[in-house]
Amino acid sequence: MAPPLSRRHLFQAAALAAVTPAISYAATGRAVAAVSEEPSVWTVRPFALEDVKLEQGVFADKRQLMLDHARGYDVNRLLQVFRANAGLATGGAVAPGGWEGLDGEANGNLRGHYTGHFLTMLSQAYAGTGEQVFVDKIRTMVEALTEVREALRRDPVVLNSPGKFGTSAENVRGSYQYVDLPAGVLGGTSAITLSAWVRPTHDANWTRIFDFGDNTTRYLYLAARNANGVPRFAITTSGPGGEQGLDGTAALPLNQWSHLAVTIAGGTGTLYVNGTAVARNTSMSLTPAALGTLANNWLGRSNYSGDPVFAGAYDEFDVWSRALTAGEITQLQTARAADASTGRGDLASYAFDETTGGTFADASGRGLTATLRRTWGGPSHPGFLAAYPETQFIDLESRTSPDYTKVWAPYYTAHKILRGLLDAHSATDDARALDLASGLCDWMYSRLSKLPDATLQRMWGIFSSGEFGGIVEAIVDLHALTGKAEHLALARLFDLDKLIDACAANTDILDGLHANQHIPIFTGLVRLYDATGEERYLTAAKNFWGMVVPGRMYGIGGTSTAEFWKASGVIAGTISTTTAETCCAYNLLKLSRMLFFHEQSPKYMDYYERALYNQVLGSKQDRSDAEKPLVTYFIGLTPGHVRDYTPKQGTTCCEGTGMESATKYQDSVYFKKADGTALYVNLYSPSTLTWAEKGVTVTQTTAYPAEQGTTLRIQGSAAFALRLRVPSWASAGFRVTVNGRAVSGTPTPGSYFTVSRTWRSGDTVRVAIPFRLRVEKALDDPSLQTLFYGPVNLVARNPATEYLPFGLYRNAGLSGDLLPTLTPVAGKPLHYTLDGTEFAPFSEGTEDPTHAYFRRSEPRVVLGTVDSGVANPAKADGTTLLDEIWAAAPFAGKGALVSRVRSVVDTWVSAGLLARADGDKVVSTAGKASFAA
């Protein structure tokens, strides 16, 4: 009897049965979806990036800096790691380094992810500007990735480069290629010479020029570099402790041809470098005869699995069954063996003159044809595309603990590549990009669909190694294009049931979880809801959002400390130099946006404004660089923190998402109701919307947030409701006029104000959004506060490394606005000073030491700048007398304020918290003082 299907496999079976591929093929061969790319369940829908033009302003300025990077960066550098992995020529391109090279953190085990980010950035840049340069770069990358996938599907083939005497065979670093020689190549001889011309391109220790052995006990090798960086020859039948060796005296130069030869005869071994004997051992009793026939006979690969593969080129490799004389070895410096008195090696001789194929002819007469191989085995499986072998994916399937030096989030990397390909296809309509994306998902399905549910749950629960980013979202997006049932089934194979079920039940289990590993899971769940209608997915995503905002959110909109979450409500207690990983804000913005498509709760767009205008803008340094995007990884919120715009070793996840953020600033300025009856204005940003279906253009003119309002002008005629977001912080004075006439109604903070009419060309809407200076308190320490003026987080610029103390009530206005306590800086909008310290918008990407949080200090009762001389008392919970007085703002006039002061004083006196005499002084001070409106 067959075992019952698990719940997951029942889902798979249902998906495969219910979803019929609906694909037709255009004349170009491109798969054309028979379904809409936008889900029918979205009650509100976005506009395409090309429909919204950014006009001059802070967003256009920041984007321009990133566009300069996109234009200037050589994409062949990104492609280097892909081409190398496939054994293709890299054209001398230098890998980006950091996470995108073999020398960075964890030996580049995440390489390839950055290429996906870059494709997305280029696609968005093209959509936003229409510049051909971005299309050209996309096509270069897609063409190269197509060649890479094809190369990975076949056995490796020789890569030629100029040799010492003709052509040579090159092994590109990162290709994991080596030359496999037949057994018996050493011939069991008791005297031998091994000779090779090599051109090393990397200085890794213990790379083998050749290694003949059975294992790590019985072998004979020549390393290009030992632990001291010089060549070493060794032979042993009893492991490392029994090695009889020869060590060189100097390192081999990189990117130059060197000749090495080893001779053994009569108990003497000699090592020659470029014709000079550099080492001699007269006690070398071991010879190939003692080794017998060996299993592994390799050029470029070691019998020690942890040793790197040789990177560089081979010209000639010869083996003789005698010890050549010093004079004969001298001849080999200027002539091929075939042209020297030595003749070709009688045991083996390879000239590496082949220009095609993957084998090398043996000219010794013994017919020992050599074969080019990869250390990770045969060709990859169909559809596979990556900048490293399939081995990381294979290892993950049996892994039970994290170790990113072995496995670093392979499905996360696959997600970035997949997303980049989908965006490239969307931007350029290149059929190859869609084919690569579809093939990659076919490959993933072929692997994951064969694994038991328990294995999948274990995999996705492993920190870092099991991280898969927003792959589910991307797969569902692909499914909308291909209609393939396997693609929707694949998306559900990433369900992490423990997390989904807990969040669906509104049970908070986030404490201790890696933040950015889990946030993008929920964008995928929303898209799964779109595709399947399963409420569990959408409910989990909504509840999850509420667990992060505001309970785990810093004032700038960021979340996480050292990449992880702590308990909800712990804000002050988690502030460090590694708070607010930038990727987290990027992904929370995506999730907020996606949830808004289903439920038009203004809280999602309030968060969007907060994170976009503060953390995201502030994460980009205010200068351009062709080589670096200059984007933060962490944004430390400790006192005096200086932002690092070149984090870690470069090409990090946050630099990738930072590139994306800076080229899609316009993606959520406007949304449209699905039936076309309403236009949502979510963000006040200078821009021009082309609403083609309505025949309408909306131009928004503003210097927001330097300007406290915006103007929208309509061209064209159409009937629709204009829904203007009233920010939750806009507590008073939000006003709307149309053609100079006030629109009736009472705007409510944290809502949308609707103006419905048939619009005509020339109609002008003016929105006034008065700002107030306000504080937001850390949930776990009310005395630790951050300052906001409207949407703008103001940070103190000061090198001190302790929290700065500031008082703000001393000149507060009747409205409760704290701004009069600060002094504007002439000629610098949104810059103020307080007690000699300058406050500036967090969004400015400078390298100034900043204080996002400060310690609220109101030691004396000061009202209207008049000091009462009375100490400001506090309750046990930290609430001060001044806090309670100003909590009733706004006040209709000074009389109302004085009345409030008298009432609070009487209450505190009655409670024994304030002496009557002191209370009278406070009331008297309020009566004497003057207050700004």
pLDDT(35) > 70? no
Q: Of 374, 405, 433, which residue is a domain's last?
A: 374
Averaged pLDDT for residues 673-690: 98
Tell me which DSSP letter residue 105 carries: G
Per-residue confidence band for 439, with pLDDT thresholds at 50, 70 and 90: very high
The terminus-to-terminus CA distance of the chain in angstroms comes to 82
Q: What is the mean pLDDT of the chain?
A: 95
Phi, psi of 708 (to 5 degrees): -95, 65
In a domain, 293, yes or no: yes
| Burial of 35 (C-beta count, 10 Å sphere; 0-12/13-18/19+) | middle
Q: Quick check: 285 and 322 in contact, CB under 8 A?
A: no
**For the chain, how many residues are written?**
933
Torsion angle in degrees (nearest 10) through CA of 456, 462, 467, 471? 20
Per-residue confidence band for 896, with pLDDT thresholds at 50, 70 and 90: very high
Q: Of 374, 403, 429, which residue is a domain's last?
A: 374
For residue 13, give the 3-state DSSP assignment. helix
**Whole domain around residue 283: which residue ranges?**
160-374
d(CA 636, CA 579): 5
d(CA 362, CA 370): 7
* Cis before 550 (ω within 30): yes
The pLDDT value given to residue 37 = 65
The pLDDT value given to residue 2 = 37
Domain count, the chain: 2
d(CA 324, CA 265): 10
Task: For 444-485, give the DSSP string.
Answer: HHHHHTTS-HHHHHHHHTSTTTT--TTHHHHHHHHHHHH--H
Per-residue confidence band for 38, with pLDDT thresholds at 50, 70 and 90: confident
In a domain, 589, yes or no: no
Per-residue confidence band for 573, with pLDDT thresholds at 50, 70 and 90: very high
Averaged pLDDT for residues 516-524: 98
Per-residue confidence band for 3, with pLDDT thresholds at 50, 70 and 90: very low
pLDDT in tens, 268-287: 999 999 999 999 999 999 99
User: What is the model's pTM?
Assistant: 0.94
Per-residue confidence band for 104, with pLDDT thresholds at 50, 70 and 90: confident
d(CA 889, CA 931): 13
pLDDT in tens, 123-164: 999 999 999 999 999 999 999 999 999 999 999 999 999 999
The helix (H) or strand (E) run that includes residue 163 is none
Strands 854-856 and 805-806 come out as parallel
In a domain, 515, yes or no: no
Q: Of 343, 374, 405, which residue is a domain's last?
A: 374
Give the CATH number of the domain where residue 245 resides: 2.60.120.200
As a whole-number percent, the residues of the chain with pLDDT over 70 amount to 96
